[in-house]
């Protein structure tokens, strides 16, 4: 049984939570960045295609 009122346990839990959160934010940030670049490229491509035809 883990004692969640133990300050050492609590500190460890929150630092783990912070690490998980940072990792999640990094993944989301990279995903958004890639998505943005892909979207911009797609828009350029669409604009170019529209001009051709």
DSSP letter for 9, please: H
Mean of the per-residue pLDDT values of the chain = 79
Tell me the pTM: 0.46
- pLDDT tens for each residue of 4-25: 677 777 778 888 888 888 888 8
Taking 80 as the threshold, does the pLDDT of residue 1 lie above it?
no
Residue 10 tokens read as 């609590």
3-state secondary structure the chain: CCCCCCHHHHHHHHHHHHHHHHHHHHHHHHHHHHHHHHHHHHHHHHHHHHHHC
Task: Check: CB of residue 3 under 8 Å from CB of residue 9.
Answer: yes
């Amino acid at each position: 049984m883990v004692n969640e009122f133990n300050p050492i346990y609590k500190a460890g839990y929150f630092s783990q939570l912070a690490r998980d959160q940072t990792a999640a934010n990094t993944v989301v940030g990279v995903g958004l960045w890639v998505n943005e670049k892909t979207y911009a490229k797609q828009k350029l491509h669409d604009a170019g295609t529209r001009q051709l035809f």
